[in-house]
Each structure stands twice: as structure tokens, then as C-alpha cells.
Amino acid sequence: MSPTQRALKHLRAMGYQAQVVEKWNAFAKIRVDLFGCIDIVAVRPGVPVLGVQCTSHSNIASRFAKSLVLGQMWLSTGHAQLEVWAWRKLKGHKELQLDRRVIPLVDQQEAL
């Protein structure tokens, strides 16, 4: 099962309605994420819209850095969250564990 499929299953178990929003560009033979950093959009009453970047655990740092830059417009709406999700097998555990990293909204004035 892919990280995206695992994330969809987990989100639905948490009560979200979730949809994959990345698409396949057949001409370039690459996957294209929504706004360059979102694979899944999930909604649930009473909480901000959640964008999820799914990846393998070995790529979580690079996906976090990419989402930190590209996800700022998404976060600036005030009604959205963005997280990077990766699955890994911990020593001594049979099941895969979810590692969730929350992307913060960066104050552009502080960044200068």
C-alpha cells in the first residue's frame, strides 16, 4: 500500500472526507501536486481544511522544506492546515507508525 493510500485510509478512519488531488501528467510522465505540495485534501465539520503531503519516511525532511515554502499561500487563508505525513516501521513494532509534521505559517516580516 502506498503512503497516499495509507493516509486516505487513516483520514477516513478519523472522520474526514478525503480526496487525492495530485494528478498524473502523461506528457511529462510525472505526478503534479496541488499547489506543488498537496497530495490529499481532507474536510471535516468544525475544523480547518487539511492539506496532506504524503511521502516515504526517508524523504520527509525534503518534503517538509518544500511544503514550508510552497504551502504558505494555502496556510495564509486562515482556514487551512498543512501537514507532511510519512509512514515508518519502528523496531519491535509490527504495524507502521505515522509521523505527522505540521507546516507552520511563517510571518513574512520575520522572514526578511
Q: Which domains does the chain have, with CATH numbers?
A: 3-104 (3.40.1350.10)
Q: How confident is the model at residue 112 (pLDDT cuts 50, 70, 90)?
A: very low
The per-residue pLDDT for 109 is 52
**Positive/negative CA dihedral, 19, 33, 55, 74:** negative
Task: Say if residue 111's pLDDT is above 90.
Answer: no
Whether the model pTM is above 0.85: yes
Contacts (Cβ under 8 Å, ≥6 apart) of 100: 83, 84, 85
- Identify the helix (H) or strand (E) that includes residue 83: strand 80-89
